[in-house]
Structures are given as C-alpha cells and as structure tokens.
Copies of this chain bind each other. A is one copy, B any other.
C-alpha cells in the first residue's frame, strides 16, 4: 500500500487546506475523520477519493472502499492533517457534492437562517434526520456545511438526507407555490406552536443564535411560531427548539 511519512508531502499540504471553507471550495473537496463518519460517507452517494490510515488502524470493509485510493500515513502526518486534538487514525478525502436538482417539492423541510455555531448546525441536521425531514436548506450566512465540527456533530446525518444551500426567500416562494405551509420562529408577533395542528407537509425556519430569523423572512411566512418559556431562561438553544418544533409539527 502507498505510504506518506512526511508532513512536507505536497498532497498532505494540499489536504491541510481543506480545514478552511475557502480551501474546500477551491479544491472541491472536504475531509471526514473517524471510522463511523467515513463508513457513513462510503455508504452515501458522496464520492470518497482517498482514505488515509495510520498503521494500527483497521481499514473499513473491502466492498465499501472499492475504488478509493488507500494510503498509510505516519502518526505525525495524521496529526498534521487532523482537525481534532486526538486524531482517530483514519481520515477520508471526499468530493464536495453537487446540490441535487429540485423537481417537485413535497414533504417536510427545515430551513436555517444564518445559524453560526457549527455544533448547533450539526445537531440540527441530526435532529432533522431523526424527525424524518425530507431535506434541509441552509441560507446565506450560515456556517459552512463541510466544516469539520458540523460534520462531527451531525453524527453522519449530513450523509443521510439532502442538505442544500439556497436563497431562503426563493425557497419560501417555491414552498408556498407547492402548497406547503411555511412556519417561521419568532418571539414577537408569533403564536405558541401548540396553537397549530401537526401538519402532513410543512417547512420550519429557524434562525441565528442571537438574532433569530431575519424580519425580511418572517414577513413572508404563513405563520410564525414560538416555544413558550415557562421559567427564567431567555431562550432555548436553537437545536433544542428545532427538536421541540419538528417533533410537534410532524405529529
């Protein structure tokens, strides 16, 4: 098997650039670390180009890695390309997926308006997957989907359902034209979520950690909802609010 032992290797240098959004977009690639996430990527339509492993690591099962380049690297090289403090000894270099074309809209959608924290976005995608959502749409100004912390906290869910970037104002129009009710989340001018009935199809829009969903978007929804605060907290974490609302709305 091929080996790379030097952190000065050109490919290693190139892969290190995948740590930034700019580097990922320029290369058209992203990196995934750890056995579980790599297995999920291999089972998904994502193209895994290269799997890097340290010597003591067991490779993923043969049928899955068919077609990937396999490279053994030294611990030092793994540490160099890893974004975690304790690398798990296996990483994969994958192609950034092309957003799937949308022909017909139906089902349940989660729309994220400028969600900034990668842990929150990953947890929201995991929650949307668990709640059986059809897809997730990330508006402009959200943290990059292929940020390593987003991938990690999604626990592989980014490989389970379509997550696309889009203009939320355009999406709201499409959803309305398809007859799908669009719910924003807001603290003012909104109804308690329990005032509405669970829905066969719906879109839920959640927003930025500090500012919530932008007014421009709230003005275009069918209805805006809030989760009541019964105690003294100022608000719920956005991923927790997403869970409460998605599970309620799908009924």
Chain A residues with CB under 8 Å of chain B are 119, 123, 126-133, 153, 155-157, 160-161, 227, 229-237, 239-244, 247-248, 250
Contact = CB atoms under 8 A, between A and B. Distances in A.
A38 to B, nearest CB: 15
A128 to B, nearest CB: 8
Contacts of A157: 231-233
A232 B156 CA distance: 9
A123 B129 CA distance: 20
Q: Which residue among A123, A229, A240, A241 has the maximum number of chain B CB atoms within 10 Å of its CB?
A: A240
Contact of A229 (B130, B237, B242, B250): B130
Given A127-B240, A243-B241, A247-B227, A233 B155 contact: yes
Q: Which residue among A119, A127, A133 has the maximum number of chain B CB atoms within 10 Å of its CB?
A: A127
Contacts of A130: 227, 229-231, 233, 235-236
A45 to B, nearest CB: 13
Contacts of A128: 231
Given A244-B244, A247-B227, A247-B244, A237 B239 contact: yes
B132 A236 contact: no
A133 B244 contact: no
Contact of A132 (B131, B132, B230, B244): B230
Contact of A231 (B161, B229, B235, B240): B161
Nearest to A243: B240
A127 to B, nearest CB: 5
